[in-house]
Amino acid sequence: MLAEEKLIGMLEAGGVDFTASLPCDRMKRLIAMVPRTFFHIPLTREEEGAGICAGAALSGRRPAMFIQNSGVGNMINALLSLTGFYELPLALFISHRGLYKEKIAAQRPMGEKLPGILRGAGIAFTRIEKAKDLNLIPGRLDQVYRKNRIHAFLLSPAVWEEAEAKDNMPQPVLTLSSPGGNLSRRQRVAPAQGKIEKLKPRLTRYEILRAVWPALESRAVVCNLGFPARELYHIGHRPSHFYMLGSMGMATPIGLGIALATKKEIVVIDGDGALLMNPGTMATAACLRPGNLTVFAVDNGAYGSTGNQPTLARRCIDLEEAARGLGFRRTIKAAGKRQLIRSLEIKEGADSPSAPSGPGFIHALALPGNRETPVIPLDRLEIKRQFMAFLDSQTIYSRPYC
C-alpha cells in the first residue's frame, strides 16, 4: 500500500468527515485523492480554511486541512484567536518544504523556522519524516477530536517517494462543476441584474441590527467581532448567536463552514472592513453555492471598533458589485428600515422557480458610529456551548458543487 492510500485509510478510521486544501506539488497525489473519499473544500487562502473548518467543527464535524508550510503564516492568528480560543478541533497536514531535497531557496526560511513557530504558538506537532512514521498519526488524531485540539502533522516530501518512484497514481485533474455540468469561469459569471440602485445610508449599524433582530429569530447568526457583536448582544441575546471575540475577517468563513454542514439558515453579520480582509471567501461561497447562507454586510465605510478609520468601501468599492463579480447571484442593496427587513424575508427561489440559486448577499448601507455598550459577559466556551446546542441534530452531509 502506498503512503497516500495508508494515510487516507487512517483518516477514514479516525472519523474525519470534512476536509479543505490548498495545492502543494510535493503532495499533489494525496490532495487529488482526498475529494474522492471525503467532503472537500478547495480554498483560496489558508486563513479562510481555518474559519470554514471552525464552522464545520461548531456543527459537529471532524475537519482536516491539507496545506503547504508557507501557508501557516497566513493562518496563525486565526488558529490562535479562533480555533484554539474556542477550543475547536483541527488536524493540519502540512507539506514540510524547505528541508528535504529542496531546490527552491525561498521555501527554506519557512521550512526551517516552522517547528519553532508552532512551538511558540503552543500548537502541538508531529514530524513525519518517512512513510513508516505515518503510524504515529492515528493516536494523535484521536486526541484532536476527543479533546478539541489543534495538531499539525509535518509531512516530509520523503514520505511520498515510493509513489513518486512508481508513478502509478493518477494525476490530479481540476474541474469546476455545477448541476448543469462543467462550466468555464466565463460561463459561470452571474447574469446582469440591472443597474445598481444608488442609495444613501439612513441608519447606524445599531439601528439596523435592532430593526432586523426579529427576522433573525429562527436562524443561526455569526456576528463580526467588536462593536457589532456587543451591539447585537445588547439588543437581545439568543443561543443561536455566535459572537466573535477575535479573528477579524473570519465571520463569513465560519458561516460558510456551518452552512455546508447544517440545514439551518445561516446569517453572517459582517462588515465592510472585515469582508475586504478576506474577499477570497466570497468566491469560495459563490462556487460552493449553499442556499442556506446569507451574508448581511453592514457597510458604514469605517473600521468601527478601532476608531472609525475609513475603509476602501467608503472611497472606491461597492460591496454589492464586488459580490456579483465574485459569483453571487442573489444580491440586494438596502438602506431604509423596510428595505432591510424585506431583504431578510426573501428566500432562495421565492420569486420564481428559475430564481438564481446559491448564497445571498445583502449590502446594508449604514451611517458610521457605534452604540456604547458593555462587553459581552458570556465566556467564550459558553458562547460555543449554547451555539452548538442550537445547531445540534441539524447536520447534513452533501457534496459541494465544485
Q: pLDDT digit string (tens) for 212-256?
A: 999 999 899 999 999 999 999 999 999 999 999 989 999 999 999
- Mean pLDDT confidence for 57-86: 96
The pLDDT of residue 269 is above 90: yes
Q: Which residue, chain included where needed, has cell 477514514?
A: 12
If asked whether residues 248 and 328 sit together in one domain, one would say yes
Domain boundary among 145, 165, 185: 165
Confidence class of residue 183 from pLDDT cuts 50, 70 and 90?
Answer: very low
Cα–Cα distance, 110 to 74 (Å, whole number): 12
If asked whether residues 29 and 102 sit together in one domain, one would say yes
Does residue 331 fall inside a structural domain? yes
- 24 residue type, one letter: C
If asked whether residues 214 and 135 sit together in one domain, one would say no
Confidence class of residue 272 from pLDDT cuts 50, 70 and 90?
Answer: confident
If asked whether residues 241 and 116 sit together in one domain, one would say no
If asked whether residues 219 and 161 sit together in one domain, one would say no
If asked whether residues 218 and 144 sit together in one domain, one would say no
**Which stretch of 18-27, 34-43, 181-190, 392-401 has the lowest confidence by average pLDDT?**
181-190
If asked whether residues 225 and 369 sit together in one domain, one would say yes
Per the CB < 8 A criterion, the answer to whether 105 and 99 are in contact is no
Cα–Cα distance, 27 to 39 (Å, whole number): 19
If asked whether residues 219 and 348 sit together in one domain, one would say yes
Selection from 69, 75, 71 nearest residue 97 by Cα: 69
Does residue 316 fall inside a structural domain? yes
pLDDT computed for residue 166 by the predictor: 60
369 lies in which domain range?
Answer: 199-391
- DSSP label at 330? E
Confidence class of residue 165 from pLDDT cuts 50, 70 and 90?
Answer: low
**Which stretch of 278-282, 292-296, 386-390 has the lowest confidence by average pLDDT?**
278-282
Confidence class of residue 176 from pLDDT cuts 50, 70 and 90?
Answer: very low
If asked whether residues 157 and 272 sit together in one domain, one would say no
Per the CB < 8 A criterion, the answer to whether 45 and 280 are in contact is yes
Confidence class of residue 393 from pLDDT cuts 50, 70 and 90?
Answer: low
Could you give the number of structural domains in the chain?
2
If asked whether residues 20 and 142 sit together in one domain, one would say yes
The pLDDT of residue 143 is above 60: yes
Helix axes 46-58, 380-391, angle to 10 degrees: 70
pLDDT computed for residue 347 by the predictor: 57
Domain boundary among 113, 141, 165: 165
pLDDT computed for residue 338 by the predictor: 92
- Mean pLDDT confidence for 327-337: 93
Q: What average pLDDT does the chain have?
A: 87
Domain boundary among 165, 190, 219: 165
Confidence class of residue 177 from pLDDT cuts 50, 70 and 90?
Answer: very low
**Which stretch of 146-150, 158-162, 308-312 has the lowest confidence by average pLDDT?**
308-312
Cα–Cα distance, 362 to 69 (Å, whole number): 36
Confidence class of residue 273 from pLDDT cuts 50, 70 and 90?
Answer: confident
**Which stretch of 117-126, 166-175, 298-307 has the lowest confidence by average pLDDT?**
166-175
Confidence class of residue 184 from pLDDT cuts 50, 70 and 90?
Answer: very low
HSE-up of 298 (CA within 13 Å, CB side)? 33
CATH number of the domain where residue 148 is located: 3.40.50.970
pTM: 0.89
pLDDT computed for residue 1 by the predictor: 79
If asked whether residues 96 and 211 sit together in one domain, one would say no
Cα–Cα distance, 216 to 187 (Å, whole number): 34
Does residue 173 fall inside a structural domain? no
pLDDT computed for residue 157 by the predictor: 95
If asked whether residues 279 and 222 sit together in one domain, one would say yes
Selection from 272, 231, 275 nearest residue 253 by Cα: 275
Per the CB < 8 A criterion, the answer to whether 247 and 53 are in contact is no
Does residue 179 fall inside a structural domain? no
The pLDDT of residue 398 is above 60: no
Selection from 233, 211, 225, 200 nearest residue 300 by Cα: 200
Helix axes 251-261, 280-288, angle to 10 degrees: 20
Q: Give me 340's grid cell.
A: 432591510
Q: Please provide the distance, in angstroms rounded to a whole number, between the alpha carbons at the two ends of the chain.
A: 29
Element (H, E) at 141: helix 137-146
